[in-house]
Structure 1
Amino acid sequence: MIAFAGLSQAQAPVRSGGSLPVLGDTSELPASAERRLGDRIASSIYRDPDYLDDPVLGDYLQSIWQPLMTAARARGELGVELEERFAWEVMLIRNRTINAFALPGGYLGVHLGLIAVVESRDELASVLAHELSHVTQRHISRLMSKQSQQMPWVLAAMILGMMAASKNADAANAAIAGGQAIAVQNQLNFSRDMEREADRVGFGVMADAGFEKQGFATMFDKLQQASRLNDNGSYPYLRSHPLTTERIGDAKGRLQLEGPAPPSVSGEGGRARVVHAMMAARARVLGDASVDALRLLLAEAQRVPSSAAESLKPRDAGALYAGALAAARLREHTQARSLTDKLKTAAAGSPSMANALELLSLEIDIAAGRAAQAPKLVTGNSRAAVLLQSQADLAVGRPQDVSDRLQSWVSTHPKDAMAWQLLATAQGQQGQTLRAIRADAESRVAQLDYGAARDRFKAAQDLMRSGRDTGSGASAHIDGSIIDTRAREIDQLLREQALQEKLDR
């Protein structure tokens, strides 16, 4: 979690429904202003090399995130205005440190290191619920309203500095700007009152969402053990969320006071741990794709006995999944398919496990150049299925299928940058240059890079004026009208940004 400044406890109004009192929203910062600040920081993260858009892990995070959002809404923690104005987007960061953070405007970041180390979806849900509660309780905006107007830029530098720290200490120091920023960071820790409130509200949200409440306490135990054994900077979540005996005791005490949880959101019992182990393994592979690391993961998978598939344990499932993905990246495709087949023998009766392995098999076929022989995905409604199937179709020269699929997808998911990029490729392969440029522009809009988007829309307008590659008839007129409208909208956004930056100085 990114550290924020402490704040004295405000008067605590009591929520309806008999729930415990909260600190109260004493923020002077409107939700719209907070969202603008979050957008500024998020746009920098999107352009950072460590930002990762992995559809498979993204879908897994969403399977946890969406029940938490639903529970927060039902409990009255998430109001209509906040839900409409904020982004509520979870971003993956290719970083092996154990960390998660909340940004202004409803952006949350999750490091691959966190996914790799937690042992269940319930533990991961406990972290996301805690971060979600920092946002819904307006902790960030209340603190920022007390700080200088320069705080967004300091915050952005700190975030980017932490992302750079795992690669190059000098780059991190440059981003954080030395001792002055360190002093600021020390002033930005969440107050103890806010940490306690995020624990309490997050615990209730997690429980109401159907996750095992024990995950909250076991996550605390894991972090407490890490704080004793490791003090080399690998656990930034510990430094920004200092564990106290009181907080740990509160978490364990709630387990005794709370009633039984609703039915599990996974619906598959022990298989949910197996699926989590595979997603944690994926995070490990994506977090360190060096040849040496991949070789170690492949060797570990090869040591799993064939008999283990009959009663697959989470640890063995994770090892086999990591080994298969590592083998594909090492171009040892026969080995990758062999390890995947071992996992498939244990997938009977688990739709989520079968779906994960179907996606993995398609990834391996694409990497091996066998996409033409790969069967169409059976479960094709998820984002991962839509995008992976599109990648496979592009690899074998079926751009029309990709265009048909993604035109429908982006109409309901207009902020999906990867979908727009794949659509641009498909349209380019069909000679639809104007539409390809427009799709490329929309991908820049989705990542909040409005300057680059405006350049692409301008290129499309120039192409229309030249009369080249624009088609004819009604379709060309419609395409031109859309491009002109979008160009004007982006121009307006850029003017508003420039005005806001001038006011902030």
Structure 2
Amino acid sequence: MITVKHTQSILLRTLLAMAIALCSLASVAQTDRIPLPDMGNSASGILSQKEERQYAQALLRQMRALDVLVDDPLINDYFQSMGFRLVAQSDKPDKEFHFVVLDESRINAFAAPGGVIALHSGLILAADNEHEVAGVLAHEVAHITQLHLYRALESSQRMTVPIALAMLGLILAGGGSGEAVQGALMGGTAMSQQMQINFTRHNEYEADRIGITTLSLAGYDPEGMAGFFSKLQRLTRPNGEGPPEFLRTHPVSVNRIAEARNRAQNMPRVQPGNGLDFLIMQSRLRAMAESKPVDAIAWFRDQLDQGHTQARDKALKYGLAIALQRHTEYDEARALLQELLAEEPDRLAYQLQMSDLYLDEDRDEYAIEILGSLYHSFPGNHAIAMQYAKALLANEDPQRAETASIILRQQILYRDEDPALFALYARSANIAGDKVRATEAIAESYYQRGGIKEAIEQLERLTQKEDLDYYERSRVSARLMEMRIEIADMRDGERNS
């Protein structure tokens, strides 16, 4: 029997594949410079700004619902910062973007409507340095800023993106029910047949040209893009199916690599440094992505035996410490972290991992001491705030839970689409005795994971409580109305498409 979860996963893969394919369609824009002239509103008019935002949020919620995103504050903050650094130097620095890391071993990346850019974890692990990953991101940013998706749709006279995302909305509006998923999946079959469009490589060349300029302006090595493309051409997939997925969705030729390299040579070069920040995030991703910690331990030990640069060896030790901790080998993990901290006592990744180790060992006070100091030095840092709140909640003390609630409410002001943040806030509010705020936060956590029906049910039950004060009832009722309107809009959009 095919489960709802399975069919949801199939549909999401279809939608993501379409997003990738759309980025390979023909584009009429040809230019070498930033900023570019406005090519008119017809292409961008396929979706309004409001629709773009709604579709991006719907896609992100469904990704979370299917648990295909890497959910780690340190990793996400690092690659989001990289993405926004590039956007700031693009010709559309004010455009809304969303950068995510997919828990997917295939080497690929894609851009989707609404400014969603996804890196596969496999691509990050295949890169040698941050400049190569930044090159891929710059390429995807250019796909969006140059309206490649919309221009392709305009030229083909097909409304594939609105149809695809209306289907996504149907699933969300149906709360992931079997009928909603199966109905959308049937639509997906016809939709995939509709995608038989002749692709060209013009937009890929344009994304290269614009992306390399953006890469250089953002302070990254402009050689990063060509270097990564060249490396991928030399790789073959381990199962013998041919080149990495990235080359299937982003065709790379010798001429294209040569052109990218020539363009990069005419731009200021960047001294790459030791790249330790990237190597640490890469090791963290590898240690956390491996389903069997013992396999990760073996991989890191083997790499350390081979000998590398000092920076890479540090990153490998950090990754080994995480893998050992996951395997409950706490003593060796602690020894490695202490060695790393002795050399760099202020490196945040090491400090946070040591605090996490203390929490696993039920040594909460040691973790709170580290995290309290970090939080007071960097109160806006999301990874620190989340870890500090978790530590404060470890012994379920109401007073500490109130402190955690204050910390998390500050984070929600800037990250109101993070389900893990709302889930942790719900726990803190519940321990602190604020049952209303706890239920509201649970509802938001459901909502951000694609469970809008479950979110509505939570809020409806809350409105039935007789002891809500005027402000609580007004707040809950207003949010409930917003969700009901959103479901109605999703269903209308599906019918119209």
Residue 414 in structure 1 maps to residue 416 in structure 2: yes
The 1:107–1:152 alpha-carbon spacing in structure 2 relative to 1, beyond 3 Å, is same
Alignment of 1:191-210 (within 5 A): 191-210=200-219
Change (3 A) 1:188 1:64: farther
Number of equivalent positions: 452
Secondary structure of 1:3 counterpart? helix
* Cα distance in structure 2, aligned partners of 1:5 and 1:405: 40
C-alpha change, 1:38 and 1:411, in structure 2 (3 Å) is closer
How far apart in 2 are the matches of 1:429 and 1:79? 42
2:448 matched to 1:446?
yes
Matches within 5 A, 1:299-338: 299-300=301-302, 303=305, 313-338=310-335
> Partner residue of 2:479?
486
Stretch deviating more after TM superposition (425-434 or 235-244): 425-434
Name 2:223's counterpart in structure 1. Answer: 214
Aligned pairs (5 A) from 1:57-72: 57-72=75-90
Q: C-alpha separation between the residues in 2 aligned to 1:157 and 1:235?
A: 29
2:68 counterpart of 1:41? no
Instruction: State the AA in 1 paired with 2:64.
Output: Y
Q: TM-score, normalised by structure 2?
A: 0.81
CA distance in 2, matches of 1:456, 1:185: 39
Matched, 1:144 2:153: yes
- 2:256 equivalent in structure 1: 247
The letter of the residue matching 1:53 is D
2:68 to 9, 34, 50: 50
Q: 1:38 to 1:404 in 2, by over 3 A?
A: closer
User: Which of 49, 74, 92 is the aligned partner of 1:78?
Assistant: 92
Tell me if structure 1 keeps the 8 A contact 2:25–2:198: no
Paired with 1:356 and 1:220, the residues of 2 have a C-alpha distance of 30
Q: Does 1:383 align with 2:376?
A: no
Secondary structure, aligned partner of 1:415: coil
Which one of 276, 279, 289 corresponds to residue 287 of structure 1? 289
In the superposition, relative to structure 1, how do residues 233 and 153 fare at CA in structure 2: closer, same or farther (>3 Å)?
A: farther
2:314 maps to 1:340:
no
Question: Is residue 164–residue 188 contact of structure 2 (8 Å, CA) maintained in 1?
Answer: no
Q: How does 1:81-230 map to 2 (within 5 A)?
A: 83=95, 86=96, 88-145=97-154, 146=156, 148-149=158-159, 151=161, 187=197, 191-226=200-235
1:450 is displaced (CA, Å) by 3.0
Q: Structure 1 residues 300 and 460, CA, compared in 2 at 3 Å: closer, same or farther?
A: farther
**Kept in 2: contact 1:10–1:26 (CA 8 A):** no
Whole-angstrom distance in 2 between the partners of 1:113 and 1:454: 37
Distance (Å, rounded) in 2 between the aligned partners of 1:184 and 1:54:
37
Q: Percent identity?
A: 26
TM-score of the aligned structures, taking structure 1 as reference length = 0.80
Q: Paired residue for 1:459, among 461, 464, 487? A: 461
Which deviates more from structure 2 when the two are superposed, residues 407-416 or residues 51-60? 407-416
User: After superposition, what is the alpha-carbon deviation per residue over 1:370-420, rounded to whole angstroms, capped at 9, x for unaligned?
Assistant: 222222324433111111111111113331221111112212322222211
In the alignment, is the contact (CA less than 8 A) between 2:288 and 2:323 conserved in 1? no
How many angstroms does 1:478 deviate by? 2.4
- d(CA) in 2 for partners of 1:431, 1:485: 23
**Counterpart of 1:330 in structure 2: which amino acid?**
H
Q: Structure 2: which 5+ residue stretches go unaligned?
A: 1-18, 169-183
**Residues 334 and 6 of structure 1: is their aligned pair in 2 closer, same or farther, counting only changes over 3 Å?**
closer
**Unmatched 5+ stretches in structure 1:** 159-173, 471-475
**What residue identity is the alignment partner of 2:79?**
L
- Cα–Cα, structure 1 residues 210 and 290, in superposed 2: closer, same or farther, change >3 Å? same
Q: Give the match for residue 163 of structure 1.
A: none
Cα gap change, 1:503 to 1:277, in 2 (>3 Å): same
Q: d(CA) in 2 for partners of 1:390 and 1:133? A: 38
User: Which residue is equivalent to 2:393?
Assistant: 394
Does the 8 A contact of 1:227 with 1:238 survive in 2? no
Q: CA deviation at 1:326?
A: 0.4
For 1:238 and 1:142, how far apart are their aligned partners in 2?
22
Tell me the distance in 2 between the aligned counterparts of 1:317 and 1:125: 22
Higher relative contact order (CA 8 A, sep 6+): 2
Deviation for aligned residue 1:177: 10
Q: Are 2:363 and 1:370 aligned?
A: yes
- 1:270 maps to what in 2? 273
Asked if 1:359 is matched to 2:352, the reply is yes
1:186-225 deviation line (CA, Å, top 9, x unaligned): 6475x31111111111111111111122212211221121
Q: Which amino acid aligns with 1:59?
A: D
Whole-angstrom distance in 1 between the partners of 2:165 and 2:198: 9
